[in-house]
Structure 1
Amino acid sequence: MKKYIYSLCLLGVIVYSCKTQQTTSPTTGANTAIVNLTKEEILKKGEDLYNLRCGRCHGLPTPSEFTVADWKPIMERMAPKAKLTAEETNWVLAYVNANAKK
């Protein structure tokens, strides 16, 4: 009987730990404020992130050294290394694209 109870408890723990959990983001209000950023604010945030996150591991090229087409694969490769969120990646991409070689 004890083995049966222990087995049920173990099964319950396994099922509980494997269950998917839905969580809500505590920053929902902050995300709404971010949507309302002006283009200048986005470019400033992108520049700050570019200098802080991208520059911590290597020297930074000036954005005008590459074209818009060049920056896309660079950002795809480097954003995970810089631990940028998707939103931060978009800000940096907007900054480098705004200043890219024409």
Structure 2
Amino acid sequence: MKKYIYTLCLLGVIVYSCKTQQATKTAAEATVVTANPNNEEMLKGEVLYNQRCGRCHDLPKPSDLTVEHWKPIMASMAPKAKLSAEETNWVLAYVNANAKN
């Protein structure tokens, strides 16, 4: 009976870890931003930036960095913040709209 329970637990861990890796890859690959994000998307991006990105470290002001600086930052940090592809686009649209010229 114990072997059966251990086997089910191990199988659950394997399935969960595969699912987590798949979601992380999709968020990391999402760096395409719509050409003209609307106000709702910008607001969602700002909220996500403050909540998800700010929970682990102090946030730089979006205007402290250029658009070119934000691209690799978002590519590396979005998976750590567990942002979906859509959420990544919202945050990237927010920081890009407020980035230094």
Aligned-residue offset at 1:65: 0.6
Question: 2:42 is matched with which residue?
Answer: 43
Mapped partners of 2:62, 2:43: distance in 1:
14
Write the mapping of 1:45-64 to structure 2, written as runs, cut at 5 A. 45-64=44-63
Question: 1:66 is matched with which residue?
Answer: 65
Mapped partners of 1:87, 1:72: distance in 2:
15
Question: 2:82 is matched with which residue?
Answer: 83
Structure possessing the higher radius of gyration over alpha carbons? 1
RCO (CA 8 Å, sep 6+): is it higher in 1 or 2?
Answer: 2
Q: Higher helix fraction: Structure 1 or Structure 2?
A: 2
Consecutive unaligned residues in structure 2, runs of 5 or more: 1-36
What is the RMSD computed on CA atoms of the aligned residues?
0.8
What is the identity percentage for the equivalent residue pairs of Structure 1 and Structure 2? 72
Runs of 4+ in 1 over 2 A off after TM superposition: none
Mapped partners of 2:67, 2:38: distance in 1:
17
Mapped partners of 1:41, 1:101: distance in 2:
22
Mapped partners of 1:77, 1:62: distance in 2:
18
Consecutive unaligned residues in structure 1, runs of 5 or more: 1-37
